[in-house]
């Protein structure tokens, strides 16, 4: 079977070192390796106790039994959270065949047992790989999705489960990495909003014996991998803001996949006062990302704004709106 344990990288070798930042203002993101048997909310609660952290959150829940990459924006970087919500994610999962549960994972009550037999490696790989591409997926009835403002898991726990309509999710790649029946280990890269529990249940049905998700590790989220994720126990040893700083990926580096433009003093003054920005203000005008966004940096490589391209009053006129602005003293 594949080893499900991640490793922690020395922070001095991480991308978090690409942009320097004052030790008294830990604005950026923490990439945390969430331990098993802890909620994502509990991880956030512990991060709030770290020196200099006044505000934090996370950008994508992991179930309590799951481990792996949890992106936690800190202080002013919480304003960047929306840029991480729709990024691709990678997981390593173990599907246990022959047993179905009401939650579709190892935490639920067993609802059915079926024999696992006559399953060749070829048949298993073929079934798993058939889920690549755009697929229709029904969200689990035990999930945080809401119905009439109430999480679905509350309806399910009260014996009145609500099933949401199937929705399209994208499986960029999926491959079997180990077989030790009844367990199958596989790696998957998928769009945000994909439920690996549902994927396991669907693969089990395709193989005719059912199954459930028994282990899960998120190995990557929005380009940040498990190798650079900090163990929570290591973070909790931090005593000062200066000690925490090496673990922080500064805001400019946190959204490094977004095209950048280094502003001169004139443009910085314009941003400082919230004046409109036109295409002529950016010379040469950089390419934008899929959302039409650009990160604006100052000469110290600090993030001062994220702007978004929009069409002006004239179809031929392009200008920008502000997504967020950051001021430095």
Write the CB contacts of 66 (distance below 8 Å, at least 6 apart in sequence).
34, 36, 216, 217, 218
CA dihedral over 204, 67, 74, 77, signed as positive or negative: negative
Q: Which residue has the tokens 């967020």?
A: 324
Q: Return d(Cα 27, Cα 73) in angstroms, integer.
A: 8
Q: Return d(Cα 312, Cα 298) in angstroms, integer.
A: 26
Contact 141, 155 (CB under 8 A): yes
Compute how many other C-beta atoms are within 10 angstroms of the C-beta atom of residue 50.
20
Strands (DSSP E) contained in 230-302 are: 230-231, 249-250, 260-262, 277-278, 293-297
Q: Is 63 a catalytic residue?
A: yes
Contact 33, 6 (CB under 8 A): yes
Q: Return d(Cα 238, Cα 225) in angstroms, integer.
A: 22
Q: Return d(Cα 13, Cα 246) in angstroms, integer.
A: 10
Q: Return d(Cα 71, Cα 173) in angstroms, integer.
A: 22
Contact 17, 28 (CB under 8 A): no
Paired strand residues for 190: 89, 171
Contact 228, 256 (CB under 8 A): no
Half-sphere exposure of 150 (CA within 13 A, CB side): 13
CA dihedral over 251, 253, 254, 256, signed as positive or negative: positive
Paired strand residues for 218: 68, 91
Q: Which of 24, 27, 63, 187 is catalytic?
A: 63
The catalytic site residues sit at 63
């Amino acid at each position: 079977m594949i080893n499900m344990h991640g490793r922690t990288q020395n922070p001095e070798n991480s991308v978090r070192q690409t942009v320097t930042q004052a030790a008294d203002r830990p604005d950026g993101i923490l990439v945390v390796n969430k331990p098993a048997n802890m909620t994502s909310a509990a991880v956030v609660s512990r991060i709030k106790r770290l020196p200099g952290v006044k505000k934090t959150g996370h950008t994508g829940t992991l179930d309590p039994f799951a481990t792996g990459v949890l992106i936690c924006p800190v202080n002013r970087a919480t304003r960047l959270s929306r840029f991480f919500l729709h990024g691709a994610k990678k997981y390593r999962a173990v599907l246990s065949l022959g047993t179905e549960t009401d939650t579709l994972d190892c935490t639920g009550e067993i609802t059915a047992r079926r024999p696992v037999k006559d399953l060749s490696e070829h048949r298993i790989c073929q079934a798993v790989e058939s889920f690549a591409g755009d697929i229709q997926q029904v969200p689990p009835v035990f999930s945080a999705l809401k119905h009439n403002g109430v999480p679905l898991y509350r309806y399910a726990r009260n014996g009145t489960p609500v099933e949401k309509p199937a929705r399209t999710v994208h499986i960029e790649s999926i491959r079997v990495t180990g077989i030790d029946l009844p367990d199958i280990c596989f790696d998957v890269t998928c769009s945000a909003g994909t439920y690996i529990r549902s994927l396991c249940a669907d693969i089990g049905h395709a193989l005719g014996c059912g199954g459930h998700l028994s282990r899960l590790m998120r190995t990557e989220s929005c380009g940040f991998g498990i190798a650079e994720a900090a163990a929570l126990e290591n973070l909790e040893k931090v005593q000062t803001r200066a000690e925490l700083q090496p673990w922080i990926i500064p805001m400019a580096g946190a959204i490094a996949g977004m095209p950048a433009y280094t502003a001169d003093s004139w443009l910085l003054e314009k941003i400082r006062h919230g004046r409109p920005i036109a295409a002529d203000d950016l010379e040469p005008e950089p390419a934008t990302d899929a959302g039409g966004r650009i990160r604006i940096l100052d000469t110290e490589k600090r993030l001062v704004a994220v702007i978004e391209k929009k069409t002006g009053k004239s179809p031929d006129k392009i200008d920008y709106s502000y997504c967020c602005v950051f001021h430095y003293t």
